[in-house]
């Protein structure tokens, strides 16, 4: 099969499309013919050598496609089913991918829209679980207009929380449409939050990693009421919790968002799509920023 890979660390130019052996699912897994795969910031961090040090490396943890092989002990799925999900092997940006958890693609979503969901939905749901967001909570989300932030807004609103979301002024209409009360980030953000909730917030979630944790602790009243998925060093300095996937994944989130999407109550914006062969361009666009929404690779 064709797959994205790099054999040395560096810029986007080190990315290649190579032929690799076809993967096969183990017990409890399925294999899909990939039609779309999500691109994440962790991809270029890996490529730069900031994460795993082994070489060569493949890329991709989320994909959507058509089931074509099923491992032992997998009920309720048949070859030909359209599904989206997550791969534990970091090799989903390929013609074939093995998934360890998945959900059926709702009729309201195409492959690209489905491939945009798994990482953001799981990260958001896990963070909300760890924070203890429930009905009646007032939750501040820093970076609410991004992909993970948008997922967190929608899932928190579904739980019955009041959500205040930070973002640039150009994102405020979109945040309102998701159910959040928008606040402009940057200098003076805490004061703007207190303008709409004078007593502060119950809980705060940081998905932007913009050095804002001290202000979030002040607004929430204690470090244990704040969680970040983006600022590990800041968490160490402030005593804020840092959420990572190896502490237990919210795998249920995929089926949940599939149901919500089918009912018209969940969506994530696809910012731009690229053929698998243009993965280097996708990295350049992602690292440059400026594209609102998820970057997705399409596989013929």
Q: What is the mean pLDDT of residues 96-103?
A: 97
Asked whether the predicted pLDDT for residue 51 surpasses 90, the reply is no
| Token duo for residue 258 | 């599939």
Q: What is the mean pLDDT of the chain?
A: 95
Q: What is the pLDDT of residue 244?
A: 80
Q: Does domain 122-247 have CATH number 3.40.50.300?
A: no
CATH 3.90.180.10 domain span(s) along the chain: 2-116+269-298
Listed as own residue / partner, the contacts of 271-276 with beta carbons closer than 8 Å and 24 or more positions apart are: 271/295, 272/296, 273/36, 273/112, 273/297, 273/298, 274/298, 275/299, 275/300, 276/2, 276/4, 276/17, 276/37, 276/93, 276/94, 276/95, 276/300
Asked whether the predicted pLDDT for residue 122 surpasses 90, the reply is yes
Q: What is the pLDDT of residue 196?
A: 96
Indicate the pLDDT class of residue 246, thresholds 50, 70 and 90: low
Is residue 226 within 8 A of residue 140, CB to CB? The reply is no
CATH 3.40.50.720 domain span(s) along the chain: 122-247
Q: What is the mean pLDDT of residues 48-61?
A: 93
Write the DSSP string, the chain.
-EEEEESS-SSGGGEEEEE-PPP---TT-EEEEEEEEEE-HHHHHHHTTSS---SSEE--SEEEEEEEEE-TT--S--TT-EEEEE-TTS--SBSEEEESEEEEPPTT--HHHHHTSHHHHHHHHHHHHHHT--TT-EEEEETTTSHHHHHHHHHHHHTT-EEEEEE-GGGHHHHHHHT-EEEE-STTHHHHHHHH-TT--SEEEE-S-SS-HHHHHHHHSSGGGEEESS-HHHHHHHT-EE--GGG---TTHHHHHHHHHHTT-----EEEEEEGGGHHHHHHHHHH----SEEEEE--
Q: What is the mean pLDDT of residues 250-260?
A: 95
Note the pLDDT tens digit of each residue in 141-174. Answer: 999 999 999 999 999 999 999 999 999 999 999 9
Asked whether the predicted pLDDT for residue 289 surpasses 70, the reply is yes
Indicate the pLDDT class of residue 248, thresholds 50, 70 and 90: confident
Q: What is the pLDDT of residue 209?
A: 85
Q: What is the pLDDT of residue 259?
A: 96
Is residue 32 within 8 A of residue 68, CB to CB? The reply is yes
Residues in the chain: 300
Note the pLDDT tens digit of each residue in 183-240. Answer: 998 889 999 999 999 999 999 999 998 889 999 999 999 999 999 999 989 999 999 9
Q: Which of 269, 286, 290 is nearest to 149 (CA)?
A: 269
Listed as own residue / partner, the contacts of 191-194 with beta carbons closer than 8 Å and 24 or more positions apart are: 193/140, 193/164, 193/219, 194/219
Q: What share of the chain has pLDDT > 90, as a percent? A: 91
Asked whether the predicted pLDDT for residue 247 surpasses 70, the reply is no
Q: What is the mean pLDDT of residues 253-279?
A: 95
N- to C-terminal Cα separation, the chain: 12
Whether the link from the prior residue into 56 is cis, omega within 30° of 0, is yes
Q: What is the pLDDT of residue 257?
A: 96
The CATH fold of domain 2-116+269-298: Quinone Oxidoreductase; Chain A, domain 1 (3.90.180)
């Amino acid at each position: 099969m064709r797959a994205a890979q790099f054999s040395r660390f560096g810029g986007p130019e080190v990315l290649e499309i190579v032929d690799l052996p076809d993967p096969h699912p183990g017990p409890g897994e399925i294999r899909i013919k990939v039609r779309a795969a999500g691109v994440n910031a962790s991809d270029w961090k890996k490529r730069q050598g900031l994460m795993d040090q082994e070489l060569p490396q493949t890329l991709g943890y989320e994909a959507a496609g058509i089931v074509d092989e099923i491992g032992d002990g997998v009920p309720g799925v048949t070859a030909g089913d359209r599904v989206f999900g997550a791969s534990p092997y970091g090799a989903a940006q390929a013609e074939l991918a093995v998934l360890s958890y998945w959900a059926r693609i709702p009729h309201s979503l195409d492959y690209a829209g489905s491939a945009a969901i798994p990482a953001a939905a799981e990260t958001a749901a896990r963070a909300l679980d760890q924070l203890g967001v429930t009905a009646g909570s007032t939750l501040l989300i820093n970076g609410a207009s991004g992909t993970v932030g948008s997922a967190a807004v929608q899932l928190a609103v579904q739980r019955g929380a009041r959500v205040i979301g930070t973002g640039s002024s150009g994102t405020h209409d979109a945040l309102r449409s998701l159910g959040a009360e928008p606040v402009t980030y940057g200098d003076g953000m805490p004061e703007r939050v207190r303008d709409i909730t004078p007593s502060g917030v119950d809980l705060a979630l940081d998905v932007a990693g913009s050095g804002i944790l001290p202000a979030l602790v002040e607004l929430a009243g204690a470090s244990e009421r704040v969680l970040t998925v983006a600022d590990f060093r800041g968490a160490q300095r402030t005593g804020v919790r840092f959420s990572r996937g190896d502490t237990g994944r919210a795998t249920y989130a995929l089926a949940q968002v599939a149901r919500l999407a089918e009912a018209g109550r969940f969506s994530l914006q696809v910012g731009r799509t690229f053929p698998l062969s243009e993965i280097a361009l996708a990295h350049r666009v992602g690292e440059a920023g400026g594209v609102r929404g998820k970057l997705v690779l399409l596989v013929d």
